[in-house]
Amino acid sequence: MSTAPSRVFSSDNAAGASPEIVDAMARAASGHAPPYGSDPLTDGVRRRLCEIFERDVDILLVSTGSAANALSLAALTPPWGSVLCHRHSHINNDECGAPEFYTAGAKLVPLGGDDARIDPDELRAAVRHKAGDVHSVEPSVVSVTQATETGAVYSLDELRHLGAVTKEAGLRLHMDGARFAGAVAALGCAPADLTWRAGVDLLSFGATKNGTMTAEAIVVLDRSLTAELSFRAKRAGQLAAKARFQAAQLDAYLTDDLWLRNAAHANAMAARLQDGLKAMLGVELLGAAEANILFCRLPQQVSERLLSDGYTFYHDRWEPGVVRFVTSFATTPQDIDGLLHSIRRHTA
């Protein structure tokens, strides 16, 4: 492994995997095990998640976050339903229509709101929009992302409120938890409070961005959906023969709170970056780094010089001058300090 500080701040999906995950994969590689999720490791993961969520849950291990999201939505809406989501949500913009594919053509209805959080007033209007009218798609499911695509974190009260609006109108609630660990770490809440106690029926439980290799999961909080999800997952090519190798990753990920430790570290690195930037002239922080994503405005020539230095990050995607830095479990204080040093030098 390179000992020089990393200059990768483009995404948490550019990191590798935690050593505990590597060890778990090696252990799982020896001996035989029953296929398709009937192995002991998969069952162990389920039991751990029952403890973490304080409820009998089922799980489906899948290969990507898009698959977790799309499968979940397909179980929550009929093809003639609509999925209410933030207009900046990953399901709306970054999955090439996976939700439309898996749901057999449901419609995503984009809503507004700051920091990629759904505005409750817009939601309240949308959940009843043309309900029961056969000329229109039927409002069927709300999807919230926690933490959001811009790194904001819904507070427990905000979530409960959205959940109440959703449930009062008879809709189902999905949570895209690609960065769920980061949100739990940031809020210090019980996972149960952030999910089923607020009305969440299905959770896409992200792991890949936070230290695993190729494992994602759907946590089935409403177990009446399990049978349907199982058929849908197989049919989608998402039931792995050697499922133990996905389970092994999640088992290690959940052991000794690795998932929360990794997330807390990534959050701390973003906070360290934020602290360092606060004092700098010419840098404007945009929003607060509630999880592991930080937005700021940098002078054009600073961005260019950072890129010349070999730094990678997204820029000019939102507005000219706006830059996004993402930290991960693998980001070190030295990486942050190196980045801060470079920005300071270029703004001087």
Site residues for its own copies, 184-213, by CB under 8 A, read 208-209, 213
Q: Which is nearer to its own copies, 95 or 290 (CB)?
A: 95
Q: Residue 142 interacts with its own copies (CB under 8 A)? A: no
Radius of gyration of the chain (CA): 20
Give, rounded to a whole angstrom, the gap between the first and last alpha carbons of the chain: 32
Q: What is the rounded distance in angstroms from the CA atom of residue 246 to the CA atom of residue 117? A: 31
Token duo for residue 338: 């190196």
Q: What is the rounded distance in angstroms from the CA atom of residue 286 to the CA atom of residue 306? A: 19
Q: Residue 103 interacts with its own copies (CB under 8 A)? A: yes
Q: Residue 169 interacts with its own copies (CB under 8 A)? A: no
Q: Residue 14 interacts with its own copies (CB under 8 A)? A: yes
3-state secondary structure of 153: coil
Q: Residue 96 interacts with its own copies (CB under 8 A)? A: yes
Footprint (CB under 8 A) of its own copies, residues 279-318: none
Given the structure tokens 């792995």, which residue do they identify? Answer: 240
Footprint (CB under 8 A) of its own copies, residues 38-67: 62-67
**Least distance CB 30 / its own copies (angstroms):** 4
Q: Residue 330 interacts with its own copies (CB under 8 A)? A: yes
Binding test (CB under 8 A) with its own copies, winner from 43, 51, 56, 79: 79
Q: Which is nearer to its own copies, 38 or 301 (CB)?
A: 38
Footprint (CB under 8 A) of its own copies, residues 107-136: 107-108, 134-136
Query: Which part of the chain contacts its own copies (CB under 8 A), choosing from 2-10, 179-187, 292-300, 319-327?
Result: 2-10
Q: Which is nearer to its own copies, 234 or 345 (CB)?
A: 234
Query: Which part of the chain contacts its own copies (CB under 8 A), choosing from 29-37, 272-280, 296-304, 318-326?
Result: 29-37
Binding test (CB under 8 A) with its own copies, winner from 76, 240, 263, 298: 240
Binding test (CB under 8 A) with its own copies, winner from 31, 157, 188, 281: 31
Q: What is the rounded distance in angstroms from the CA atom of residue 264 to the CA atom of residue 266? A: 5
Q: Which is nearer to its own copies, 10 or 155 (CB)?
A: 10
Q: Residue 140 interacts with its own copies (CB under 8 A)? A: no
Query: Which part of the chain contacts its own copies (CB under 8 A), choosing from 106-114, 146-154, 271-279, 298-306?
Result: 106-114
CA 120, 88, 173, 261 torsion-angle sign: negative
3-state secondary structure of 107: strand
Closest CA to 56 of 41, 46, 42: 46
Please, are residues 321 and 298 in contact by the beta-carbon 8 Å criterion? yes
Instruction: Catalogue the E-assigned strands of the chain.
Output: 58-62, 81-86, 107-111, 138-145, 172-177, 202-205, 216-220, 284-286, 293-297, 314-315, 322-326
